[in-house]
Amino acid sequence: MKKIGLFAVLAAIVGFGFVNSCAKDKVPVITTTPDCVDTIHFATQIAPMIQDNCLGCHDTGGSLPTLTNHSEISASATAVLSTLHGTPQLMPQGGPALNDTLIQQFTCWISQGKLNN
Ligand code: HEC
């Protein structure tokens, strides 16, 4: 009886450790695909957002990426999106970050194929 009790305690400890380590190893599955039910329009949604928030600095010349038209914005889209999230630095420079709806729109515009519509 004593032996069984000890075994049970050991099994419980080992078992707990096992379950615990499994739980820690589990990477949470985060669904990053936004719910892009509406088609995003470049002319009325993306271009004005960039114009209002970015072109003060990203219009022409210099070492900064220019974001004045569809092809420039498309070419820089991935970098633009990551700066909207603060990586490698937050844009618009000096903040505040754009609101989530605008960032979501930009994300959807990319996932819908960066349409020039
Ligand atoms: C006040 C001026 C200013 C505004 C407004 C601004 N930027 Fe910038 N941006 C900069 C500067 C300066 C850099 C270079 C920063 C550096 O290299 O450290 C930069 C860099 C970038 C880069 C390159 C980042 C990289 O290192 O890969 C992207 C993309 C960018 N900006 C996008 C944007 C977008 C999108 C907006 C509007 C939402 C915006 N910026 C608004 C000044 C600005």
Q: Give per-residue pLDDT as tens, 14-29.
A: 545 445 445 556 665 5
Answer for the pair 68, 55: CB distance below 8 angstroms, yes or no: yes
Question: Would the CB of 73 count as within 6 Å of ligand 1?
Answer: no
- Report how far residue 9's alpha carbon sits from residue 5's, in angstroms, rounded to the nearest whole number: 6
> What's the gap in Å between 89 CA and the centre of ligand 1?
8
The answer to whether the bond into 28 is cis (omega within 30° of 0) is no
CB of 64 within 6 A of ligand 1: the answer is yes
Task: Write down the pLDDT at residue 62.
Answer: 84
Nearest CA to 54 out of 63, 65, 62, 40 is that of 65
> Does 95 score more than 90 pLDDT?
yes
pLDDT of 78 over the 70 cut? yes
Is residue 76 over pLDDT 60? yes
**How many whole angstroms from 100 Cα to the centroid of ligand 1?**
18
Inter-residue contact 67 to 80 (CB < 8 Å): yes
Tell me the residue type at 39. T
Mutation to probe ligand 1, out of 84, 91, 106 (largest number of atoms < 8 A from CB): 91
Q: Which long-range contacts (CB under 8 A, 24 or more apart) does 101-109 make?
A: 102/49, 104/34, 105/40, 105/45, 105/46, 105/49, 106/40, 106/46, 106/49, 106/77, 106/80, 106/81, 107/34, 107/36, 107/81, 108/34, 108/36, 108/38, 108/40, 109/40, 109/42, 109/45, 109/46, 109/77
Check pocket membership of 77 for ligand 1, CB cut-off 6 A. Answer: no
pTM of the predicted protein model: 0.78
